[in-house]
Amino acid sequence: MKQRTQIIFTIFFVAYLSTVLLTDISLTGFWTDVIFSVCLSIFALLLVFTNKTDGIWLTKTINILCSIIVFGVLGLNIINPFAIDTLKLRGFYCQSVDGRLFNAYFKPVGAYSGGYGNFWIAETPKYFPLIEWRVYWDRTVHHDFNDDKSEGEPIDNYEVVRSYIKNEVIGKQK
């Protein structure tokens, strides 16, 4: 039973990491992938070092390599001097437009990008809201979603997001 659990977990871990790292599909929410990957890595390391089965060295090696990848990517993002901008991430959750669910994210990056920051929109399936896939991305958006006023007038950032969704996602799919 322990061998089967370790094999199934290893296959799931490799499939999850491959999907998150190599495609535009991820778990809903920006930090969800980071937290889930770290939890899977800790569980994989516990499974490797507490399991007494010796016959499946390949799964142990794969789990250790996957954990190194997760903690390596996390470490590279922590030592990145521009990673502090990630902590300023702003998300608008569950925007429903034309019966479809979208999540929009804004990360300010300052003046070095040519705009106010990175902006991306991800669509969530209506009947399985645990995953999302990115459908729009702009690295130099010219609207500051952290500011609630424009030229002294109050601005509704949710309406700005809805207009981006209607114009850039739904409008270009027709």
pLDDT in tens, 74-109: 888 788 776 666 666 666 667 888 888 898 888 777
Cα–Cα distance for residue pair 118/75, rounded to 1 Å: 22
Two tokens at 147?
Answer: 């500011």
Alpha carbon separation from 61 to 17, 22, 54 (Å, rounded): 15, 21, 12
Contact 137, 118 (CB under 8 A): yes
Q: What is the mean pLDDT of residues 137-151?
A: 77
121 phi and psi angles, rounded to 5 deg? -125, 135
pLDDT in tens, 101-130: 898 888 777 656 567 778 888 999 888 888
Q: How confident is the model at residue 29 (pLDDT cuts 50, 70, 90)?
A: confident
pTM of the model: 0.75
Distances in Å between the Cα of 132 and the Cα atoms of 20, 93, 136, 158, 165 are 11, 12, 12, 19, 15
Quickly count: other Cβ atoms within 10 Å of residue 36's Cβ: 16
pLDDT at 90: 64
Shortest CA distance to 143 belongs to which of 166, 163, 170, 169? Answer: 163
Other beta carbons within 10 angstroms of residue 136's beta carbon come to 17
Give residue for tokens 């999540």.
103
CB of 131 closer than 8 Å to CB of 103: no
